[in-house]
A and B are shown apart, each in its own frame.
Chain A
Amino acid sequence: MENTELLKSGEFLVREVDPADVFIPEEYDEEQIMIAQTCKDFLEAEVYPKLEDLDKGDRELMKELLKKSGDLGLMGISVSEEYGGFGQSFVTQMLAAETIGAAYSFSVAFMAHCGIGTLPIMYYGNEDQRQRYVTKQATGELLGAYCLTEPGAGSDANSGKTNAVPSEDGSHYILNGQKMWITNGGFADTQTVFAKIENDRVLSAFIVDTDSEGVVVGPDEHKMGIKGSSTTQIYYNDVKVPAENLLGQRGQGFRIALSILHMGRIKLGANVLGASKKAITDSVRYANERKQFGTQIANFGAIKHKLAEMVIRTFAAESSIYRVSKDIDCLIEKYVAEGCDKGKASIDAIAHYAVEAAILKVYGSEMLDYVVDEAVQVHGGMGYSSEMDIERGYRDSRINRIFEGTNEINRILVVDTAMKRAKKGEYGLFEEAEKLAGNIAGIDVYKGGDDDFFTEKSGYIKNMKRTALLLLNAASTAYGRKLVHEQEILNNISDIIMEIYVAESTALRVKKIESLKGDAGIFRDILDVYVYNAVQDVRRSALDAVYSLDADNKDELVKAVSDLSEAAGVNVKACRRRIADKLIEDNEYKF
């Protein structure tokens, strides 16, 4: 992998990738597996027996569990060794995030501390700030929170009104304002607070100790799900923040906020994966136990369909998540080799893959919502009962489409960021798109046929890429700079781009499994159904966009999109049954 030029964010739309250059979960090393096992052992021993108490809002219990995870070193996985952590690779961080992701509210509190609570200081703090805060956050001695959102500043984060005024002697700032939806607000010791200094138009970031005079923490919000996670408002009334607690440079806050959100998004992708696997395991165990009409409900085709589809989407999300995680690791290595500080290298590498981060956030959160919804259905009436974990899983899933940037914002980001990167000259997105658009009737459409399995799948994925490029060109031509106001069309294109990345990642993984093991077996079924579904979904999104476009060559585009979304039929029932049968036999998610 080291010898290959790294794929830039969004470049997958115009570049072919060799499976040998992609990391797949089947390649975890022994230490990574052991770290994941430790996370799992911790959840089973400490967290799962206390889920009900956590959901009753027992803050002391949540703090105690967070501290225990700190004692095991889990809070230091992402922190460099010189600041008391274990400096693990991004792939390992994501694997730990995935495993902890199966722990409902605990996962939210843990990830908020380890991610947005700790990493702003780890990545942007100076040496003194890292020593004072990060070394203690890495062990759980200090618990962290991230305070960006305000009553009038949600998705439009830069419009916040919280204000900081430097004191005359320059020794401190006086902070005033209000923040809301603060995860861990009820018990965090330290906060990263975003505020505008004086009349600045852009944000700055500060490290604020919760025990400072004038910091008032509101009561916990009553929420639909993640009830065990503390979510509060925080008020700042003439709070004196020492000048040395300004994080980064004055005016750098928005950049810090965005970079941390990229990181949060991608880690959310890993979290929902763990939650999804847990919901699938709960479902198949129930289906294997529950009898109706004299047989386990797992034997019914309708249930097998659900179980298989849950597995397929989860496997696909997993393929994508670890693919980009390794790309990030490679980019971090490159930056460090060029002389960059490890902290800065990490956040810059994560921020670089902004297109993929947004894809994983949206795809992952919607995948989990699908999975928990079907999981409740597999449980029947019991799925609606609070006695079952899946009832909690269903409620807890919903927030993932909202926080870390709503899916609506992230869908726009997918297209917008890819186009901006291309405009900067990082790759020839527009050149390729123009080439296709200039010869629509002569587009080289892959038509299937007698090719081998993987060539056929890759051919259909190429067709999807051509569809995306055609639409990007058509939409840009039709609307120019005003495209940003055509959110429905951007959503269509974004959905297509997401399907491309996830389908391609799945195909690359399955092909690599085959090259490693000789026979990809059941994984071929997963890919078969995934690509079959993706082609249909891309066709629908593409036609929705084309019919809505103000374009002169609409008919031509409709024909091209229709041709590009022709694919050979697949016996999806047989594939899904084989996938479900493996799940039923294993009685847990083991793919």
Chain B
Amino acid sequence: MKILVCISNVPDTTTKIKFTGDNELDTTGIQWVINPWDELSLTRALELKDSNPGLIESVTVAHAGPASSEPTIRKALAIGADSAIRVNAEPLDAFFVAAQLEKVITEENFDIVLCGIESSDFNGSTVGGMLAEFLGYPSVSAVSGINIENEDIVIKREIDGGSELVSVPVPFVAIVQKGIAIEPRIAAMRGIMMARKKPIKVVEPADVNALTEVSSYEMPPEKEACKFIDPDNPEELIDILQNKEKLI
């Protein structure tokens, strides 16, 4: 079986997001990383390959993005992916990205496709579902565990108040959330050295248009300062809750 992990290239989660005068994202000084959910998916894919060496043939990562995103792809190769595919296009919206990934998957026949539940930049949460629909594959959402038992795929997914185990035939798309792996795997020195020699296949994009366009961005309102109330003065708290905020 061949596993494909779809990865997004996102600003490091500690980045302070700023916009230019033209309401474009100001990329100055941003450190780009693998989307955290995708990184956990990659970690789990590699664990599955390690524990099922005869069954899992390879782990590949796919990414739709320009050449400037290659350091992030090489990081995935350093972590342990065997190969990578980059669709040479700006990722315009979720529909566009899903269409590009569909083309990659159709051409290369992957059995297990892992997508992070969302990307930490735009948080759309739609690529995985769209991709499964385009491919005509079953999709499982809110996946927090994947295991292989007697060559069958058993997936754990989160449901309200608990979790359920489902089995799914290959090929399928799993939309992965936290819990799939404990911690992302750290790129080892050997992996970093080997990443130089691993292939990144660059393919031209499918001819599709984006369906949505960002008109503008707005920063969230500044957080109001926290008001501290003297513990010896509970009347003040009651007064605020009752008369000012009218919450009680």
A interface residue numbers (CB < 8 A to B): 30-31, 33-35, 37-38, 41-42, 45, 71-74, 76-77, 86, 585-588, 590
A586 and B183 CA atoms in complex are apart in Å by: 26
Is B193 in the interface zone, CB < 8 Å from A?
A: yes
- Most A CB atoms within 10 A — which of B186, B188, B196? B186
CB-CB under 8 A from B188, the residues of chain A are 38, 71-73
A-B contact pairs, 19 of them (CB 8 A): A30-B71, A31-B192, A31-B196, A33-B71, A34-B74, A34-B75, A34-B187, A38-B187, A42-B186, A72-B186, A73-B188, A76-B189, A86-B189, A86-B193, A586-B16, A586-B29, A587-B14, A588-B14, A590-B29
Is B190 in the interface zone, CB < 8 Å from A?
A: yes
The answer to whether A34 and B192 have CB atoms under 8 Å apart is yes
A241 and B119 CA atoms in complex are apart in Å by: 60
The answer to whether B186 and A38 have CB atoms under 8 Å apart is yes
Contact pattern, B 52-89, Cβ under 8 Å of A = 1, otherwise 0: 00000000000000000001001100100000000000
CB-CB under 8 A from B195, the residues of chain A are 34
In the A-B complex, list the 3 residue pairs whose CB atoms are closest, starting with the nearest. A73-B189, A41-B186, A72-B188
A547 and B221 CA atoms in complex are apart in Å by: 62
CB-CB under 8 A from B29, the residues of chain A are 586, 590
| New A-B contacts (4) at CB < 8 Å, excluding given A37-B187, A586-B16 | A34-B71, A34-B75, A34-B187, A34-B192
CB-CB under 8 A from A37, the residues of chain B are 75, 187
A86 and B183 CA atoms in complex are apart in Å by: 25
A585 and B74 CA atoms in complex are apart in Å by: 30
CB-CB under 8 A from A86, the residues of chain B are 189-190, 193
A72 and B193 CA atoms in complex are apart in Å by: 12
The answer to whether B190 and A73 have CB atoms under 8 Å apart is yes
CB-CB under 8 A from A41, the residues of chain B are 186-187
CB distance from A488 to the nearest CB of B (A): 45
B interface residue numbers (CB < 8 A to A): 14, 16, 29, 71, 74-75, 78, 183, 186-190, 192-193, 195-196
A77 and B188 CA atoms in complex are apart in Å by: 11
A76 and B74 CA atoms in complex are apart in Å by: 21
CB-CB under 8 A from A73, the residues of chain B are 188-190
A41 and B78 CA atoms in complex are apart in Å by: 14
CB distance from B32 to the nearest CB of A (A): 11
CB distance from A427 to the nearest CB of B (A): 38
Closest to B185 in A: A41
CB-CB under 8 A from A72, the residues of chain B are 186, 188-189
A37 and B14 CA atoms in complex are apart in Å by: 15
CB-CB under 8 A from B14, the residues of chain A are 587-588
CB distance from A110 to the nearest CB of B (A): 14
A437 and B189 CA atoms in complex are apart in Å by: 54
CB-CB under 8 A from A45, the residues of chain B are 183, 186
Closest to A33 in B: B71
The answer to whether A38 and B74 have CB atoms under 8 Å apart is no
A585 and B18 CA atoms in complex are apart in Å by: 11
Closest to A45 in B: B183
CB-CB under 8 A from B75, the residues of chain A are 34, 37
CB-CB under 8 A from B16, the residues of chain A are 585-587
CB distance from A499 to the nearest CB of B (A): 30
Closest to A74 in B: B189
CB distance from B100 to the nearest CB of A (A): 24
Closest to B196 in A: A31
CB-CB under 8 A from B183, the residues of chain A are 45
Would A35 and B74 be within 8 Å (CB), given that A45-B183, A587-B16 are in contact?
no
CB distance from B89 to the nearest CB of A (A): 22
The answer to whether A38 and B189 have CB atoms under 8 Å apart is yes
Would A35 and B186 be within 8 Å (CB), given that A30-B74, A586-B16, A586-B29 are in contact?
no
Closest to A41 in B: B186
CB-CB under 8 A from B74, the residues of chain A are 30, 34
A41 and B188 CA atoms in complex are apart in Å by: 10
A590 and B71 CA atoms in complex are apart in Å by: 19
The answer to whether A35 and B189 have CB atoms under 8 Å apart is yes
CB-CB under 8 A from A71, the residues of chain B are 188
Closest to B192 in A: A34
Closest to B33 in A: A37
A33 and B189 CA atoms in complex are apart in Å by: 12
CB distance from A74 to the nearest CB of B (A): 7
A497 and B34 CA atoms in complex are apart in Å by: 45
CB distance from B144 to the nearest CB of A (A): 20
A562 and B193 CA atoms in complex are apart in Å by: 54
A65 and B41 CA atoms in complex are apart in Å by: 26
Closest to A85 in B: B189
Closest to B184 in A: A41
A540 and B74 CA atoms in complex are apart in Å by: 52
A38 and B191 CA atoms in complex are apart in Å by: 11
